Structure 1
Amino acid sequence: MNKHGKRLITLAALATTTTAIIHIANKVVAASAGLKEMLDTNGKNYYHWRFGDIYYTRKGKGSPILLIHDMLPGGSGYEWSRIEDDLALEHTVYNIDLPGCGRSEKPGMTYTNYVYVQSICDFIKNVIGEKTDVIVSGYSGSFVIMACRNEEKLFNKIMMVNPVNPGALKQMPTKRDKLFRKCLEVPVFGTLVYHMVVSRTAINNEFIENFAFDPFHPLRDLQDAYYEAAHKGGCYAKNVYANKVAKYMNIDITRALKEIDNSLYIVEGEAENNGEATVEAYQNINPSVETVTLNETKHFPQVEDPEHFLEQVGIFF
């Protein structure tokens, strides 16, 4: 065998060994992320939706309220853990993990705004079974606005917590975005890149810099829940992130926001990045949107100041 042939065999062996090592490392990272068991599954309620099982909890009695978490990497219903029991004293509270998130099934599919619109509408029709109020966090507010426009009879009042600026939602996928998504979807190596994005250090830094009002008290339990949820499902956990970062979930909500007649209420954290500009953008599109700012909070006012957040819920609902 000539030197060229031996070199090729050596390179192939090295590539195979490297891939195997990275694959094992990915498995270890995903398994170890759940050691703290932050995401309780004792309720074992699953809505068997056509594109995968959706995990949810149901608590209390009274008029229904649906809680929908943000679409940050690692997002799940745990986001509402500090207020759902209090809400359940007067309401039937449904808290879901959206498709591809948290404890819900994570199929390898293209996750678009329409997928989430359909999942929310189907959940209300088939699980809640009546018109419902909604409290929705962050990016997911765009799903609820579009769902309400499509099937208004399913929705009553809508409270949005730190929603995304409507202008940002107009950005459509570019060739570079699509290429990045394809790279993330590559087995083993794409998962390695994703694990870097949602590493313990990366999530902690994101909370300190962008989510927590007080960087010296950066919501440790929520960080742990985000870290666990971001790895739950192994290599399939990256699917939602790949589609979101590539802007596949974006949609222009301007027309829908203008047309819906439902009561809309925005709760903004005092220190939320570009919070004032975002509120102004919503009111410019729909002047009937009501707003309130919670002091000494940032991206998660329902976590940082649950008492005053619940006061606003009582006022609005």
Structure 2
Amino acid sequence: MMKKILKQFSLPLAASLGATMGALILYQCVTLRRANQKENLSSCQKQEFYGIETAFEKRGYGKKLLLLHSIFPGASRMEWEKAAEALSKEYTVYTMDLPGFGQSQQPKKPWTAYQYAAFLHDFVQKEISGSVSVLAANSSADLALIWSMLYPEDLEKLVLISPEGFGRGFATTEDMKPLKMLLSPVIGTQRFLQDTKKSRLKSMLEEMFYEKERLDPDFLEAVCQNARRGAHAQMVYAAIKTRFAAADTKDAFHRLEKPFLLIWGEKNIANPWQYMEEAEKTRSNGEFLLFENTAALPHMENTAAFVSSVTQFIDEQR
């Protein structure tokens, strides 16, 4: 009798679960298809470097600068738009979407910091044909430090905004644990879609600003549009969440022979400015600036002061 009762209940339950799962998968497919149907109207050049079709822009004349954006879901070269426009009045300014971001092609598997360094080396060799000064923010500042260690001939000067490797270093086993789940269909996809909702992305960006009112609505829209774009968007998200490209850059910083300017936002909660104090104790031959009333993105929150400081540093005779 009990077996019959269990059978009577199990069949409808299985059917219900199957219908729910089917509806969830359909929702995920439709949501991702819509995300990839949105047109990105920003103009750029596209060329292949290190096997990746890369979106980049070049503007202005003079000494060459390459600007590297932060790494978070939906990140792109638009982070540098205001600063790039101002700097292009005196310099040749390159902005790019790193592989996996913006309008650039996404690798099929997560990249390490060393692969990004090899990519940047290829970009400079093919596009710039000489050395370049680099401005890099947050996680991309760590990529720039690894790059400086592997290919020092590519670089003139470095402007590093709150490198994350100073405090957190390489991804740990604990960091990497969720990778398989985050890459999985259905469960991983649902987590990806939840974390790339506009409300979640807005909260993430507001934490990167000291004054959330400074968050440009157009920048937010670009982040939302880019976060789900591409066949491997979920993979890029999983790599970010597990810090796959993270590196311990303290050694690279100590060995750095190029002139550098290290900048920190005073209100950067995720990556506190005290790490800059520690860096200054070990490398007094560099330049160090603390920007008041800014957080992780001082180049966006106080563009005028940032551009002025960078211009002075780039033009210094060394």
TM range (shorter): 0.7 to 0.9
User: Which residue of structure 1 aligns with residue 82 of structure 2?
Assistant: 82
Task: Decide which moves more: 263-272 or 75-84.
Answer: 263-272
CA distance in 2 between partners of 1:155 and 1:217 (Å): 32
User: Which residue of structure 2 aligns with residue 42 of structure 1?
Assistant: 43
User: Which residue of structure 2 aligns with residue 26 of structure 1?
Assistant: 28
User: Which residue of structure 2 aligns with residue 150 of structure 1?
Assistant: 150
1:25, distance to aligned residue in structure 2 (A): 2.3
CA distance in 1 between partners of 2:240 and 2:62 (Å): 35
User: Which residue of structure 2 aligns with residue 314 of structure 1?
Assistant: 311
1:308 alignment partner AA:
A
Pick aligned residue for 1:262 from 258, 261, 275: 258
- Whether contact under 8 Å (1:257, 1:285) holds in the other structure is no
Q: Secondary structure at the match of 2:82?
A: coil
Q: Does 1:173 align with 2:172?
A: yes
TM-aligned CA distance change 1:31 to 1:292, over 3 Å: farther
Pick aligned residue for 1:226 from 217, 220, 223: 223
Q: Secondary structure at the match of 2:67?
A: strand
User: Which residue of structure 1 aligns with residue 295 of structure 2?
Assistant: 298
Pick aligned residue for 1:204 from 199, 202, 205: 202
1:166 alignment partner AA:
F
Q: Secondary structure at the match of 1:134?
A: strand
1:35, distance to aligned residue in structure 2 (A): 8.6
- Whether contact under 8 Å (1:173, 1:248) holds in the other structure is no
1:116, distance to aligned residue in structure 2 (A): 0.9
2:229 alignment partner AA:
K
- Whether contact under 8 Å (2:100, 2:107) holds in the other structure is yes
* Structure 2: runs of 5+ lacking an equivalent: none
CA distance in 2 between partners of 1:295 and 1:244 (Å): 28
TM-aligned CA distance change 1:58 to 1:23, over 3 Å: farther
User: Which residue of structure 2 aligns with residue 239 of structure 1?
Assistant: 235
- Whether contact under 8 Å (1:165, 1:281) holds in the other structure is no
- Whether contact under 8 Å (1:166, 1:281) holds in the other structure is no
Q: Residues 18-70 of structure 1: CA distance to partner in whole angstroms, max 9, x if unpaired? A: 34422332344345557986x54422x12213442121111122221101000
1:118, distance to aligned residue in structure 2 (A): 1.0
Task: Decide which moves more: 259-268 or 176-185.
Answer: 176-185
2:82 alignment partner AA:
R
Please provide the CA RMSD for this pair. 2.5
Residues 28-177 of structure 1: matches in 2 within 5 Å?
Answer: 28-30=30-32, 39-43=40-44, 45-170=45-170, 172-174=171-173, 176-177=174-175
Q: Residues 173-208 of structure 1: CA distance to partner in whole angstroms, max 9, x if unpaired? A: 31x443411111112331210111121111122233
Pick aligned residue for 2:183 from 182, 185, 189: 185
CA distance in 2 between partners of 1:58 and 1:9 (Å): 62
Q: Residues 126-164 of structure 1: CA distance to partner in whole angstroms, max 9, x if unpaired? A: 111110000101111111111111111100100012321
User: Normalization by structure 1: what TM-score?
Assistant: 0.88
* Structure 1: runs of 5+ lacking an equivalent: none
Larger Rg: 2
CA distance in 1 between partners of 2:21 and 2:260 (Å): 50
- Whether contact under 8 Å (1:47, 1:123) holds in the other structure is no
